[in-house]
Amino acid sequence: MRHYLDHAATTPMRPEARQAWVDASAIVGNASSTHSAGQGARRLLEEARERSAAVLACDPIEVVFTSGGTESINLALQGLWQARQPGTDAIVMPDAEHHATMDTVEALIGAGALLRAVPVYRTAEIDSGEFAAQLPGAALATALVANNEAGTINDAAKLSSSAAASLVPLHFDAVSALGHLPLSFRALRGDAPDAVGLVAMSVAGHKIGAPVGVGALVVARSARLSALLRGGAQQRGLRAGTQDVAGAAAFATAIELAESERESESTRLAALRDRLISGILTRVPDAVLLGDSSRRLPGNAHVLFPGAVGESLLFLLDMAGIAASTGSACQAGVAEPSHVVMAMGRSEQDARSVLRFSLGRTSTDVDVDAVLASIADAYARASGAGSAARS
């Protein structure tokens, strides 16, 4: 029996979303065409946009469907940079962001941007005071709503308020938060002036049971944003190209279902997570829970196993039928130490010794039991592998 504890990477597709995708795929017509077949597709597309907007608490016109979180983040950051106010070159970015953000900012630095880095606390929470201090005169800022590795939840409202006060456009990466936290674009914007404060928010479908390859960027009506893809006027001209009607329909179905069960699922997953964490720390006394102990995503358990090799632990657990994650980035097939763990003040060795267990709507006590039955032996063997590697 397989036990899947890597829902933060991608979660199983919901049957309802799959059916919505199949049904929409049977509709023939380009949503940009003026004939009746095209307008039928357009109606389904705009209904999906309206349904998604209702969950995200924004206007339908502010929902720009994309291919997923990475594209959404690129559109937000590159688009805001290209449309920046003259004389502003700095990008404010915390140290523990997702690689989709870090790599995009790195490319912009190559184009002349200046980085204003913001430290995170030992829990991976963004230092909101330092974030605010770096904002004045910046071209744009970006931040995670919740850390994708450590699971720590940031004070998004405070970060948004600081950006508004400094008249700086802000992007939120809400990919990991979607389906687990209430995400109201209007509430997070607060009383910000039209073109500053929170102006863009990225989400991805495969984190909530929609197909891989569909996501969205919420873009405030008044935001100044340059398009990455050109060749048509679709989606306010922000993303040219034939629109994915079936993907949008599946996304709308998944996000509605995720929101309808969010509170009850958060309670259930938090209880499973706490039992998992307690069981691991009992069986492996050397293990250390990383991230905030209370302000964390309900399904996240990010654990340091001192002296072990994370890749070895991952392999041994996989042999036992358990899927988890090292929480480290994999660039060109080479495992790297987690930049998030090092940003939290840990050593490079620690950054190679972490596992992220992430629970989702299909997770049960049986999955937790499987981890607890295997973790002590896996740690003992991985620690031996670590000792052998160091010698």
**pLDDT tens-digit series, residues 344-386:** 999 999 999 999 999 999 999 999 999 999 999 999 999 975 4
Closest CA to 141 of 112, 116, 121: 116
Dihedral pair phi/psi, residue 46, rounded to 5° = -70, -30
Q: Thinking of the domain 15-259, which architecture would CATH place it in?
A: 3-Layer(aba) Sandwich (3.40)
In the chain the first and final C-alpha atoms are separated, in Å, by 36
* Active site residues per annotation: 330
Residue 389 binned pLDDT confidence (cut-offs 50, 70, 90): very low
User: Is the Cβ–Cβ distance between 101 and 75 less than 8 Å?
Assistant: no
Does pLDDT of 388 surpass 50? no
* Cα–chain center distance at 78: 18
pLDDT value for 331? 47
b/e burial code for range 351-370 (CB count within 10 A of at least 16 → b): bbbbbbbbbbbebeeebbeb
Annotated domain spans of the chain: 15-259, 262-390
Q: Would you mind telling me the total number of residues written for the chain in this entry? A: 391
Closest CA to 162 of 192, 125, 120: 192
Structure tokens at 214: 């569909």
Dist CA 191 CA 202 (whole Å) = 20
Reply yes or no on domain 262-390 having CATH 3.90.1150.10. Answer: yes
pTM for this predicted structure: 0.95
Beta strands (DSSP E) in the chain are 3-4, 63-66, 90-94, 114-118, 140-144, 169-173, 197-204, 215-219, 288-290, 300-304, 322-323, 330-331, 334-335, 354-358
Give the whole-angstrom CA distance, residue 258 versus residue 182. 11
Average pLDDT, the chain: 94
101-122: per-residue pLDDT in tens? 999 999 999 999 999 999 999 9
Which residue, 64, 197, 186, is CA-closest to 140? 197
